[in-house]
A and B are shown apart, each in its own frame.
Chain A
Amino acid sequence: MASEGESRVRVLQGTLDLMILRTLQTMGPQHAYGIATRLEQVSEESLKLNQGTLYPALVRLEQEGCIKGSWAKTPSNREAKFYAITRTGKKALDRETVRWRQIAGLVERVLAEPE
């Protein structure tokens, strides 16, 4: 899913969904290329996505009703599928954010233990 370089981050199972939802919440409806670009920007290039792998996550989220895709024109007048976060998606995002912070905090505390 992620490339193997040391400086690059391996995406944990499920965290990609979380990041996609967050991206859509802050940026509004986006096509897959937009989402991928945004994720790369935010991660300051440390997350190198094989962009094709974004799609299974999008299918999953759409099937769960967290996002909704619809075809629309880009400013450059090209047909693209735009994904928007739904109410279900917002709720899921809130829930998962809390959980992520709990887990991250917990892992952080454990790692911070002096030897």
Chain B
Amino acid sequence: MQALRRIFAKFVNLFRRRRADTEFDAELDAHLGLMQEELHRRGMAREAAQREARVKLGGVEQARELHRQARGFHWLETLAQDVRFALRTLRKNSGFTAVAVLTLALGIGGTTAIFTLVQQVMLRSLPVAQPQQLWRVGDAVQCCFSNGYTQGDGKWLPLNDWSLFSWEAYKLFRADTPAFENLAAFEVGEHNAGLAVRRAGSQAAVEPRIGEYVSGNFFETFGVSAWRGHLFTDADDREGAPQVAVMSYHTWEGEYGSDPSVIGLTYDLNGHPFTIIGVGPPGFLGAKIDADGGTPDFWLPLTTEPLIAGPTTQLKNPRLAWLDLIGRVQPGVNPKTLEAQIQVELHEWLASHVPDMTLQEKKLWEKQTLRLVPGGAGVSLMRQTYENGLRLLMLAALCVLMVACANIANLLLARGLRSRHQTAVCVALGASRARLVRKALVESVTLSVLGAVAGIGVAYAGAKLILRLAFESPDNWIPVNATPSTVVLLFALGVSLVTGIVFGMAPAWMTSHAEPVEALRGSNRITGRSRGICGAAGAQKTLVIVQAALSLVLLTGAALLGESLWNMEHSNYGFDTSGRYLVSIDPKISNYTQQQLEPLFNEIETRLRAIPGVRAVGAVLEAPQVGWVPGHDIRIDGRPEADGSSGWTRVTPGFFDTVGEKILMGRAITDDDNAATRPVAVVNEAFAKKFFNGENPVGQHFGPLPEKNEGMYEIVGVVRDIDFAGGVQPMYFLPEAQATQFDELESESREVWSHYLYNVVIWAPGNPPNIEAQVKSALAAAAPDLVTGGSQPYSEVIRGHFSQENMIASLTWLFGGVGLVLAAVGLYGVTAYGVEQRTSEIGVRMALGANRSSIFRMVIGEGMSLALIGIGIGIASAVVLGRFLRSELFGIAVTDPFTFAAVALGFALVALAACYLPARRAMRVDPVSAMRCE
């Protein structure tokens, strides 16, 4: 109680410093007066009494200081003094301060910019109630559906990563696991329901939107409530229930102008009426975070999927895993126990499907298992996509920060050496070393806090740049922004404190070793012999070596990433992108029936071919290097031993000519391959090689498993390999105009959706003018109702794939460049300082007969030896740190000797330039005037 009272009193005294001082002076005055009176009364002469009183009281200044210490937070007050002093010093040396603050702003700003993104991409929880109670069933982050009763073969994918579930499995888990207060399901990864939306009864053009199927208890599980209207529940997620949808706040605000009358209205989603019953809370974007697939505009109950998907529905197919599960766990449940229970449930469910399994699945299903992981951050594809890149950039930013620290430490050291005399005087006058060290540290921390303030501006601009380079595209909004949050500001402050201490350490150390005797020596001459100086010069050299090493690491990384990016952008996909354009369309959400498709594509192709300059047009399910390649196991007619997996796609006859895919054997698909003729397929070289050992397959038959389909397609031709996605693989091409019947539900569904082709490729060499606008009007004329995504030169499409790699490589170059400049400045500074200090020594050498070129060589040699040691250490570190880069590199080894040699040589040249100026100055020293200074 008394202690508390005292702290309060001390706190109050912080604000009445001056008054307390005055009062104490009055008290001391009274004290002296009383004592004097007393002594005088005892018979002492007035003046003698005055003297005696002062002696008995002791040092007045000392008493004042003790009083101050006792009454307030002494350390806080002296800290404030130190800060004021530091600010005054910095203001006086404005040139030094500007350089230091700018350097720090770059270092701290770069680090903070990366952290802004790291925090949002990797560290953020979903904006939901009690996210720590949420657990996810399964731990792998998948982009796409999984088809089958295994999700890992122990080779390519681990066996314990089961992460996606069919509707059937979800319902079973939900019913059998009471430890989950609630278990929600939502559509996996990049798969969203593509929606074409317009007001019911309106004739306006449909607008493409993103829908996500979620279970009825989705909102309840996450504990979110409606911003407007209400959210759907299990009661709405029943077959036959009225069709309802919930709109996301972001969409409501951005696309519907926050219009409250939207709630309760009916909208046509792909031609089916849905009532919008509510708007989700601000900031809530569902449970998956995806930078590529976009964020959902509408949430729809799972059971509406058959309505929207029509014949391609996947809801009731137990083989098709397409749901991520996150549940809210009851309080007190041990996650390990729960995990074990879910594993048992998975096995029970799999056991009930053994008869439906393929041979391969029968071998593996018992080994399948899953893990339960914290689900508070949702399922973040964005994190998966950007994690490595951001980690790499964070590393690079920290390197730059360290180089910046070393530079400022060097500046402070040089300045400290110049003001050595003053420091020595302070020590001689009795300043405590602790106070001097603290003063030095306070100055460097003040400096770095100023740097951080400027750095926040750099961070904002930097984060915006990164977002523009890598994340954002005009039609794809993602929930990451560059504005610094409180966490980010705290981070910047923390970094500045740490850096301030790091770069302040060397100067503070030097201060603490100041010798009072130097003050008495009275000369500013640096002898170069005393211990303190040797130490400081050694520290400066060490710092320069560290800088050189760090910037070499950065530059090597940048060079490797740059080469890798070049390799990626120029890799051979088996077709030439120049003169080719890609058009994206979505006949599926535009509600075309299957019968309308063939005429639709005919019309589109005819209109596009009529554009001047267009040489060929062809449509394809998903164009090369744009989407993915569906695959399945096939059987060659009469050769069960050759069973294996093949990719496939569907094309119109013009496709092969359009992409320039050469026919090697047989013929291409033609207009004569239609509903009236026998089903045919064209295969690629890899297919012929895999299934026919390179022999001529024309005339042979094959089909997707099971066995009864083996005679389904006749091979009529072989084409040159093209890399559609992730490397060349065996593929076959089916004509758009043909369809076959399957008894298997899944194959039949695939047969239906594969007729909805998503891409049209145009070949129009020689840059015909205005092609994109003409394509747009041709499409509008051909099919006014068709939802289209516009056209783009193919080379741009490819480049777009590497936007992240491009961003990482560009930023690493930027960081490397800043590091190089800082390191060169550091080297220059130390060499120049050395020459300045040794002017008289150089003069003596010259007087004794050393010629100018040997002086030049000496200075260059000393500077370059630092640079070369730095290069050596840098190369070794780059080799060690290379493992962080391995996964990012394409077509180049982490230890590519040519790159290392080129970077080292480049760096050595810059270092040489940095040493050249001081060396020239040394060479021009006039021995007479140098010695006169002595």
Q: Which residues of A lie under 8 Å from residue B9 when comparing CB positions?
A: 62-63
Chain B: which residue is nearest A37 at the CB level?
Answer: B38
The answer to whether B58 touches A59, judged by C-beta atoms less than 8 angstroms apart, is: no
Encode B575-600 as 1/0 by CB contact (under 8 A) with A: 00000000000000000000000000
State the CA gap A63–B72 with chains docked (Å): 10
Q: Which of A6-14, A18-26, A49-57 contacts B (4 or more CB under 8 A)?
A: A49-57
State the CA gap A32–B26 with chains docked (Å): 12
How far apart are A24's CB and chain B's nearest CB, in angstroms?
Answer: 16
State the CA gap A63–B2 with chains docked (Å): 8
Q: Which residues of B lie under 8 Å from residue A51 when comparing CB positions?
A: 31, 35, 56-58
State the CA gap A55–B62 with chains docked (Å): 11
Chain A: which residue is nearest B2 at the CB level?
Answer: A64
Contacts A59-B71, A63-B9, A81-B30; A53 near B2 (Cβ below 8 A): no
Q: Which residues of A lie under 8 Å from residue B58 when comparing CB positions?
A: 50-53
The answer to whether A63 touches B34, judged by C-beta atoms less than 8 angstroms apart, is: no
Chain B: which residue is nearest A64 at the CB level?
Answer: B2
State the CA gap A79–B57 with chains docked (Å): 18
The answer to whether B6 touches A64, judged by C-beta atoms less than 8 angstroms apart, is: yes
A-B contacts, CB under 8 A, total: 78
Q: Which residues of B lie under 8 Å from residue A88 when comparing CB positions?
A: 2
Q: Which residues of A lie under 8 Å from residue B23 when comparing CB positions?
A: 81
Decide yes or no whether B176 CB sits under 8 A from chain A. Answer: no
Contacts A50-B58, A65-B2, A88-B2; A55 near B30 (Cβ below 8 A): no
Decide yes or no whether B70 CB sits under 8 A from chain A. Answer: yes
Decide yes or no whether A80 CB sits under 8 A from chain B. Answer: yes
Chain B stretch 1-18: residues in CB contact (< 8 A) with chain A: 2-3, 5-6, 9-10
Secondary structure type dominating chain B contacts: helix
The answer to whether B24 touches A55, judged by C-beta atoms less than 8 angstroms apart, is: yes
Q: Which residues of B lie under 8 Å from residue A57 when comparing CB positions?
A: 70
Decide yes or no whether A101 CB sits under 8 A from chain B. Answer: no
The answer to whether A78 touches B33, judged by C-beta atoms less than 8 angstroms apart, is: yes
Encode B893-926 as 1/0 by CB contact (under 8 A) with A: 0000000000000000000000000000000000
Q: How large is the interface on A (under 10, 10 to 19, 20 to 34, 35 or more residues)?
A: 20 to 34
Decide yes or no whether A74 CB sits under 8 A from chain B. Answer: yes
Choose among B5, B26, B62, B66 the residue that contacts A63 (Cβ–Cβ < 8 A): B5
Encode B691-709 as 1/0 by CB contact (under 8 A) with A: 0000000000000000000
Q: Which residues of A lie under 8 Å from residue B26 when comparing CB positions?
A: 79, 81
Q: Which residues of B lie under 8 Å from residue A64 when comparing CB positions?
A: 2-3, 5-6
Q: Which residues of A lie under 8 Å from residue B670 when comparing CB positions?
A: none
Decide yes or no whether A31 CB sits under 8 A from chain B. Answer: yes
Decide yes or no whether B67 CB sits under 8 A from chain A. Answer: yes
Chain B stretch 838-895: residues in CB contact (< 8 A) with chain A: none
Encode A56-77 as 1/0 by CB contact (under 8 A) with B: 1101101111100000001010
Chain B stretch 718-734: residues in CB contact (< 8 A) with chain A: none
Contacts A50-B58, A63-B9, A88-B2; A56 near B70 (Cβ below 8 A): yes
State the CA gap A99–B640 with chains docked (Å): 99
State the CA gap A41–B264 with chains docked (Å): 94
Q: Which residues of A lie under 8 Å from residue B27 when comparing CB positions?
A: 32, 55, 80-81
Q: Which residues of B lie under 8 Å from residue A33 when comparing CB positions?
A: 30-31, 34-35
A-B contact pairs, 28 of them (CB 8 A): A31-B30, A31-B31, A32-B27, A33-B30, A33-B35, A37-B38, A50-B57, A51-B56, A51-B58, A52-B66, A53-B63, A55-B24, A55-B66, A59-B70, A60-B70, A63-B5, A63-B6, A63-B10, A63-B71, A64-B3, A64-B5, A76-B37, A78-B33, A78-B34, A79-B26, A79-B30, A81-B30, A88-B2
Instruction: List the 7 shortest-distance A-B pairs measured between CB atoms, nearest first.
Output: A52-B63, A56-B70, A63-B9, A80-B30, A50-B58, A52-B58, A59-B70
